[in-house]
Chains A and B, each alone.
Chain A
């Protein structure tokens, strides 16, 4: 997989030479934390709003997941641009495995998403979100987010392989953005949802990623969750299955697009 590493390194170099891309993708998640977080804070019952900021602590995991989603969308548009500009043809005439082309993109997308997730986390912590004291849990949380990022980059890559129109790609992919956020436990707990919504949320990998992240990385996750968290193993299984599914979709679409 030397070729995947080369392509990864090339994407990273372009990314670092072009920080606007990263900041552009991060504006949205940061606005969520800053504005939505500040707005919601006062709506909580007084006994819940202690010294720290429980709502920001509650919502931050979901917003970190959202930023990974944004990163994945960015990765899809890198792929679409490279396809439209013929750069992919350059990869295809090179003596490298087809899969490494896809891997190079997915891995660099994931790396970028991790950058963004960490920055959003730091912003959230500055705004009063409380992490737990378990660095191993932090690491686990980041891996979980990376897995989600991989799965969603798969979906983004699959879509970017099937259209020749950047506008259509963004329209298609944006259809996912808000429903995935709203139909999940990112902004409000599963327990307070109507049943139909809870069912929908449980089918949404954002829910599992967010819940796993909350348990592994944040303090007192149940304070606002209002119910028992999902079993941690279920979060892992759901996210890993999602990652695998996304990659399969991407590979199938990729094979189709190069033939």
Chain B
């Protein structure tokens, strides 16, 4: 591994701001500090500022204010050194698809001034890793979406980067391909030596992969922590009740119970925050007994990152971008 100046974090940002014109603030004062050998998941809805963050950290955009360092190097003043040390995949597919898979990797290595023997060895190693050996001599335009993504991942890994930036790495992929890509990324962490910053608007992806999750909304980092920690901070389990009849009376009675922390009355569902869901289920139901309220459906849920997101942003993390066909919805409670 290359020596880096100091043994600081792999990625560090202070007061990062990106403004377009006078109106649009894409990134609004973000501080980040990501230690080496971690997978950091930047979670947020479309338009939250994730891609702008990545663009700044990968030297594509200069910040309006603040500063950022990757492996201790300033992304503006030492952009060229930063570029040498990072690997990137973009949100959209970016492939010279008239080239074969093998050529894509080889040209990438040449651009980064890798020697011929090293290029050749690394190409074969990566083709094997992403299971594209069979397809290596075919033009990339004949590849499926998942194969293209895997090729892109291999290309980003070609130069053995110290920091890997993946912008929505599994966007639009089928579940099986996603699971495979997650596997590669986990393997990469096991191997060590690589810090990974990925953006996603999928809760499950963040939960599955990230050591640390940062929730970004409207350009601000609103929460950060280990996924489990963030979820535990939510404290309560939630009991969801759907019923018919005098809801107000039922809600009033439930509110007075000592173990009830919050009561959220929605249009159809009443959400009750309690210390332990399974233990309190019966007691909640019993409140309805003898009242003009009938419980029709009741369900306990553990809080998820989705709830964490809801808490910090007041919004559900739902994909509102109608142009894209999603294969699944983000994990919701």
**A residues bordering B, Cβ < 8 Å?**
2-3, 6-7, 9-10, 13-14, 17-18, 85-87, 89-96, 259
Residues of B within 8 A of A92 (CB): 59-60
Our pick among A13, A89, A96 for the contact of B90 (Cβ within 8 Å) is A89
A-B contact pairs, 6 of them (CB 8 A): A13-B99, A13-B103, A17-B139, A89-B94, A90-B90, A93-B58
Write the chain A residue with the least CB distance to B92.
Answer: A86
Write the chain A residue with the least CB distance to B96.
Answer: A87
Our pick among A7, A14, A85, A93 for the contact of B83 (Cβ within 8 Å) is A93
A-B residue pair count with CB separations less than 8 angstroms? 52
**Would you give the shortest CB distance from A104 to chain B, in whole angstroms?**
10
Write the chain A residue with the least CB distance to B61.
Answer: A259
Q: Mark B48-84, 1 if CB is under 8 A from A, else 0.
A: 0000000000111010000000000000000011011
Cβ of B111 within 8 Å of any chain A Cβ, yes or no, is: yes
**B residues bordering A, Cβ < 8 Å?**
58-60, 62, 80-81, 83-84, 86, 88, 90, 92-96, 98-99, 103, 107, 110-113, 139
A92–B94 Cα gap in the complex (Å)?
A: 13
| Additional pairs, 8, CB under 8 Å, beyond known A3-B111, A10-B107, A94-B112 | A2-B113, A14-B96, A87-B94, A89-B90, A92-B59, A93-B83, A93-B88, A95-B83
A90–B84 Cα gap in the complex (Å)?
A: 13
A89–B83 Cα gap in the complex (Å)?
A: 12
Write the chain A residue with the least CB distance to B94.
Answer: A86
**Given A92-B60, A96-B111: A10 and B96 interface contact (C-beta under 8 Å):** yes
What 6 A-B pairs come out closest when comparing CB atoms?
A: A86-B94, A95-B83, A95-B84, A6-B110, A14-B98, A93-B88
A89–B86 Cα gap in the complex (Å)?
A: 14
Residues of B within 8 A of A18 (CB): 98
A90–B94 Cα gap in the complex (Å)?
A: 8
Residues of A within 8 A of B83 (CB): 93-95
Q: Is the CB of B94 within 8 A of A94?
A: no
Residues of B within 8 A of A2 (CB): 113
Residues of A within 8 A of B88 (CB): 90, 93
A92–B111 Cα gap in the complex (Å)?
A: 11
Residues of A within 8 A of B80 (CB): 95
A86–B88 Cα gap in the complex (Å)?
A: 12
A3–B107 Cα gap in the complex (Å)?
A: 10
A182–B59 Cα gap in the complex (Å)?
A: 46
- Residue from B58, B62, B95, B111 having most chain A Cβ neighbours under 10 A: B111
**Would you give the shortest CB distance from A97 to chain B, in whole angstroms?**
8
Residues of B within 8 A of A94 (CB): 83, 111-112
